[in-house]
């Protein structure tokens, strides 16, 4: 199973982050049953892909102090770190990630109030008691 860690440029280029933490991430992956790894450099940042045997191996990799320190030191800690299962990072500026508006601008129709329930008319005082029994 593959996992991807995308690091976006921020206060400094993500390639500097890769230079500083890349060897620790590779070593951590290989010591925690990682089968394969791959780096991708893009004009917006870097992607580290690692293949592990199962979910337990991934969790063991994530819990290592070196991995935690690397993830805490990304250039943009608020919006510059994406971690997800699978391989990724193929959409750079060459293939922009357009956000298309949803149908109707994503708005739902407002609920319409039910028609006002009018009170029934008062019985006609001229009616007979037999007519009143039907009420």
| Residue 62 φ/ψ, nearest 5 degrees | -65, -30
| Residues 6+ away with beta carbon under 8 Å from 9 | 44, 45, 75, 76, 80
Residue 111 belongs to a domain: no
Q: Which residue has the tokens 């129709």?
A: 109
Span 9-31, pLDDT tens digits: 999 999 999 999 999 999 999 98
Residue 94 belongs to a domain: no
Runs of H (alpha helix) within the chain: 14-31, 55-63, 65-72, 129-133
Indicate the number of domains in the chain. Answer: 1
Span 76-108, pLDDT tens digits: 989 999 999 988 755 444 445 555 555 555 566
Spatial distance between the Cα atoms of 130 and 135, rounded to a whole number of angstroms: 10
Mean pLDDT of the chain: 81
Whether 127 shows a pLDDT value over 80: the answer reads: no
> Do the Cβ atoms of 92 and 44 come closer than 8 Å?
yes
Three-class SS string for 81-102? EEEEECCCCCCCCCCCCCCCCC
- Domain containing residue 75: 2-85
Confidence at residue 93, expressed as pLDDT on a 0 to 100 scale: 46
Confidence at residue 113, expressed as pLDDT on a 0 to 100 scale: 64
The whole model's pTM is what?
Answer: 0.64
Residue 131 belongs to a domain: no
Residue 69 is part of a domain; what is its CATH number?
A: 3.30.70.100
């Amino acid at each position: 199973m593959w996992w991807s860690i995308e690091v976006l440029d921020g206060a400094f280029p993500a390639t500097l982050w890769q230079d500083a933490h890349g060897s620790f991430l590779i070593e951590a992956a290989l010591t925690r049953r990682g089968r394969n790894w791959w780096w991708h450099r893009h004009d917006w940042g870097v992607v580290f892909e690692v293949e592990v045997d199962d979910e337990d191996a991934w969790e063991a990799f994530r819990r290592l102090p070196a991995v935690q320190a690397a993830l805490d030191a990304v250039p943009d800690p608020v919006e510059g770190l994406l971690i997800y299962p699978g391989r990724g990072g193929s959409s750079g500026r060459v293939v922009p990630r357009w956000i298309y508006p949803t149908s109707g601008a994503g708005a739902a129709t407002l609920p319409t109030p039910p028609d006002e329930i009018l009170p029934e008319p008062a019985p006609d005082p001229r009616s007979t008691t037999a007519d009143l029994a039907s009420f």
